């Protein structure tokens, strides 16, 4: 008997030994927080009340602001390449553009490289991706319902994960505004599709407020009678920019950087919304600015109201406080600052991403951080919340401890690296790279395509962000700053080396970068020549377009 008892005891211990890891794994997974990563397209920090910009008095985002009130706001979160597909690629891979390969809008991320989603699944999460995706290949999530490409604002089509249907053939049409549809899809996933035995990782992405702006009808009158506050540098900024952005003696102002006012001849918002030629330049700019901001803020309002619905559901289901909720935009956006529209620039309004995070179990309500964090760090941070160590192939790092303590760990990055590759595409922005610390920003416009073509005048800009937070005074040439410039250039070169962004694959471009790095007298003289040549090209182009136009009219 006793031997039998012994046997049973050993057997049950053995079974427990086998069962225990399984039980503790399941328990571990159940202890993990859920994670919702909410991202809108082009929603910039100036258009979020909690960031306290000139637009805060319009109260554009009361719901999003609650995440700041009940969680943490990051003042210095930056994207590494301010445009849609590249920023999304940085987030899903945890890698800089030169490593994940998505330099521009043409790039994509194959399913096996969608690391964040893959690692979350490995950690026991059920994963879902809803809304704007823009990484072209099939999302590697347990569930997805995504817009194809940019998607449509009204009655959008989605691609939904379905057995036996290949990506691209799995389309589903919906009725209504995209922000409403995307929220409906997510709520439906919560209610009927989600595997409730696992913690969830949800990426919930709005298309709004990307241009061409389209709000739901119920916002048509929102802000109708309001005069939208203007940034000072919409009007006057004589010391802003460089030969790279203005040309020699301002000769390229009509050609670089699309504008609100009539400045950019090819593309500006008066062409859409202040066409009346009898309006003065000032009146046309003011009108175009107001239309622009109202269209944009109406889309923002639709996002904010939809989040109210989502948060109400989470509260009702008891999911609000055991879920890490992040709100961000895929980059910033110029809302008339420097008379610019769109993003792409390294100026703060475009480089900065809003980043709010709420998780009351470990994050103090109403806290703020000025730590420098980049979009490549978002993946590692979310994985850290999920109990996963940052995989070696990710270049970003986790800032979970900053969220929880407000303190930067020893060795945490003190500078953000930035690079924009799409030389003079769509919005006439010259290619550039640079470094941003808490106090300074150094930008190098090398001004050519990866193949070295389309050269615009190379130039450097330095801004003192403490004295000049709106970046209107380029102090690169002030002799007092020579040492600072040399130091920042050293840091910039070191970052480029560290992140592997040293252009060996693009010898023609590398030659330009090397030639204009020191920016001595010969380089400056050459930049002036390039400016004149570009002006000639532009004038010739305009006159041949005029001739063509006349011919077409005669026909
Ligand atoms: Ca975007």
Residue 264, pLDDT above cutoff 50: yes
Task: Give a yes or no: residue 187 inside a domain.
Answer: yes
> Which residues neighbour 202 within 8 Å (Cβ) at sequence distance 6 or greater?
34, 35, 36, 37, 127, 128, 129, 130, 186, 189
> Is 475 contained in some domain?
no
In angstroms, what is the span from residue 255 Cα to ligand 1's centroid?
Answer: 23
pLDDT beyond 60 at 143 = yes
In this model, does residue 28 exceed pLDDT 70?
no
**How far does residue 342's CA lie from ligand 1's centre (Å)?**
9
Element (H, E) at 307: helix 281-316
Distance 377 CA to ligand 1 centre (A): 18
Distance 144 CA to ligand 1 centre (A): 20
The residues placing their C-beta within 5 Å of ligand 1, an ion, are 41-42, 84, 330
Ligand 1 centroid from CA 354, angstroms: 12
| Interval between CA 330 and ligand 1 midpoint (Å) | 5
Distance CA 402, CA 399 (A): 5
* Alpha carbon of 42 to ligand 1 centroid (Å): 4
Mean pLDDT score, 482-504: 98
524-553 confidence digits (pLDDT tens)? 999 999 999 999 999 998 888 888 877 665
User: How confident is the model over 376-415, as pLDDT tens digits?
Assistant: 999 999 999 999 999 999 999 999 999 999 999 999 999 9
With a CB cutoff of 8 Å and minimum separation 6, the contacts of 2 are: none
Instruction: Please tell me the distance between residue 84's alpha carbon and the centre of ligand 1 in angstroms.
Output: 4
Q: What is the pLDDT of residues 296-328, one digit of tens each?
A: 999 999 999 999 999 999 999 999 999 999 999
Identify whether 474 is part of a domain.
Answer: no
Q: What is the CA(208)–ligand 1 centre distance, in A?
A: 9
In a domain, residue 423? The reply is no
> What is the predicted pLDDT for the residue at 545?
80
What is the pTM (predicted TM-score) of this model? Answer: 0.94
Confidence of residue 18 (pLDDT cuts 50, 70, 90): very low
Cα–ligand 1 centroid distance for 428 (angstroms): 17
pLDDT in tens, 238-253: 999 999 999 999 999 9
- Look at residue 391 and tell me if it is in a domain: yes
Q: Please report the pLDDT score of residue 549 as a whole number.
A: 75
Distance from the CA of 259 to the center of ligand 1, in angstroms? 18
Distances, alpha carbon 120 to alpha carbons 142, 282, 376, 542, in Å = 11, 52, 16, 53
20 has a pLDDT exceeding 80 = no
Owning domain of residue 58: 37-213+324-413
83 CA distance to ligand 1 middle (Å): 5
- Which residue in the block uniquely carries the two structure tokens 């347990």? 142
Classify residue 517: in a domain, yes or no. Answer: no
Does pLDDT of 30 surpass 80?
no
Please state, for a pLDDT cut of 70, what percent of the chain lies above it: 94
Q: What gap in Å lies between CA 126 and CA 144, rounded to an integer?
A: 11
Query: Would you mind telling me the total number of residues written for the chain in this entry?
Result: 555
State the pLDDT at residue 26. 54
CATH number at residue 347: 3.40.720.10
Asked whether the beta carbons of 141 and 119 are under 8 A apart, the reply is no
Domain assignment present for 348: yes
Q: What pLDDT score was predicted for residue 5?
A: 47
**Ligand 1 centroid, distance to 332 Cα (angstroms):** 8
Is the confidence at residue 45, as pLDDT, over 80? Answer: yes
Judge whether 16 lies within some domain: no
Counted domains in the chain: 1
What does each C-alpha distance from 18 to 13, 188, 271, 489 come to in angstroms? 9, 38, 71, 58
């Amino acid at each position: 008997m006793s031997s039998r008892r012994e046997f049973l005891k050993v057997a049950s211990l053995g079974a427990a030994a086998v069962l225990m890891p399984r039980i503790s794994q399941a328990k571990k997974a159940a202890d993990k927080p859920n994670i919702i990563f909410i991202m809108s397209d082009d929603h910039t920090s100036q258009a979020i009340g909690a960031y306290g910009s000139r637009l805060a008095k319009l109260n554009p985002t009361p719901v999003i602001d609650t995440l700041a009130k009940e969680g943490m706001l990051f003042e210095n979160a930056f994207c590494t390449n301010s445009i849609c597909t590249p920023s999304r690629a940085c987030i899903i891979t945890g890698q800089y553009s030169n490593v994940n390969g998505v330099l521009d809008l043409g790039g994509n991320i194959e399913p096996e490289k969608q690391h964040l989603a893959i690692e979350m699944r490995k950690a026991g999460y059920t994963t879902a991706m809803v809304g704007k995706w823009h990484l072209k290949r099939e999302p590697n999530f347990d569930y997805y319902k995504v817009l194809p490409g940019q998607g449509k604002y009204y009655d959008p089509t989605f691609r939904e994960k379905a057995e036996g249907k290949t990506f691209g053939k799995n389309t589903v049409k919906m009725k209504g505004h995209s922000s409403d549809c995307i929220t409906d899809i997510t709520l439906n996933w919560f209610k009927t599709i989600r595997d409730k035995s696992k913690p969830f990782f949800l990426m919930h992405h709005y298309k709004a407020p990307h241009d061409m702006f389209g709000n739901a009808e119920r916002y048509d009158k929102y802000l109708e009678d309001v005069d939208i506050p203007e940034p000072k540098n919409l009007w006057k900024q004589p010391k802003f920019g460089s030969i790279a952005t203005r040309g020699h003696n301002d000769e390229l102002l009509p050609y670089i950087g699309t504008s609100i006012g009539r400045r950019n001849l090819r593309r500006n918002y008066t062409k859409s919304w202040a066409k009346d030629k009898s309006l003065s330049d000032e009146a046309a700019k003011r009108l175009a600015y107001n239309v622009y901001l109202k269209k944009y803020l109406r889309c923002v309002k639709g996002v904010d109201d939809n989040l109210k619905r989502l948060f109400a559901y989470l509260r009702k289901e008891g999911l609000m406080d055991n879920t890490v909720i992040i709100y961000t935009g895929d980059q910033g956006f110029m809302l008339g600052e420097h008379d610019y529209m769109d993003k792409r620039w390294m100026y703060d309004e475009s480089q900065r991403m809003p980043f709010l995070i709420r998780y009351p179990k470990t994050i103090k309500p109403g806290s703020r951080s000025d730590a420098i964090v980049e979009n490549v760090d978002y993946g590692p941070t979310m994985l850290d919340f999920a109990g996963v160590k940052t995989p070696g192939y990710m270049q970003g790092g986790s800032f979970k401890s900053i969220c929880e303590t407000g303190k930067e760990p020893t060795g945490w990055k003190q500078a953000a690296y930035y690079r924009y590759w799409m030389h003079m595409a769509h919005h006439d922005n010259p290619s550039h790279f640079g470094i941003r610390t808490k106090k300074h920003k150094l930008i190098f416009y090398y001004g050519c395509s990866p193949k070295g073509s389309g050269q615009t005048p190379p130039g450097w800009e330095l801004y003192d962000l403490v004295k000049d937070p709106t970046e209107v005074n380029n102090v690169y040439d002030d002799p007092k700053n020579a040492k600072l410039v040399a130091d920042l250039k050293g840091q910039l070169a070191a970052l480029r080396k560290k992140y592997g962004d040293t252009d060996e694959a693009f010898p023609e471009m590398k030659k330009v970068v090397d030639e204009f790095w020191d920016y001595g007298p010969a380089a400056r003289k050459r930049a002036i020549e390039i400016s004149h040549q570009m002006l000639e090209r532009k004038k010739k182009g305009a006159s041949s377009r005029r001739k063509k136009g006349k011919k077409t009219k005669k026909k």
